[in-house]
Amino acid sequence: MLHGGPAMTYVPAVRSHPTNKIVLTGYQVEGTPGRELYETGSAVIDGRSMRVSAQVEQYDFSAHADRAGLLEFLEEYADARVLVDHGDRCEAFAAELREDGFDATAPTLGDRIAL
């Protein structure tokens, strides 16, 4: 999502040539530099606002499961306790799971959980 890593070096290096291409290989969350770049052609990268002339494309190569994939995975754990701790809607997803009969919670930072 262009928050750090090698992209902070290579995006500025390739951004000015329209024959170059920047490929975003996963979902870009709203409000992130990657989403801003994809939607507007510019982004704040490494603290600097940059207009990008390079081509920008997005492909969904995410290793994350979608909702249907998560529910299919959880079928084998219907009697287990489920802790939802990754994503942008943890509490909402835990609530949906509870409605489906799961013992699901979305712990927050500092919560203590006995396993």
Identify the helix (H) or strand (E) that includes residue 42: strand 42-45
Q: What is the pLDDT of residues 5-49, one digit of tens each?
A: 888 888 999 999 999 999 998 888 899 999 999 999 999 988 889
43 exposure class (CB count in 10 Å sphere: 0-12, 13-18, 19+): buried
Residue 41 phi, psi (nearest 5): 80, 10
What three-state secondary structure class fits 38? helix
Q: What is the pLDDT of residues 49-98, one digit of tens each?
A: 999 999 999 987 767 778 888 899 999 999 999 999 987 789 999 999 99
- Decide: 52 and 11 in contact? Cβ < 8 Å: yes
pLDDT, position 14: 93
Give this prediction's pTM.
0.57
Identify the helix (H) or strand (E) that includes residue 103: strand 103-105
Beta bridge partners of 51: 42
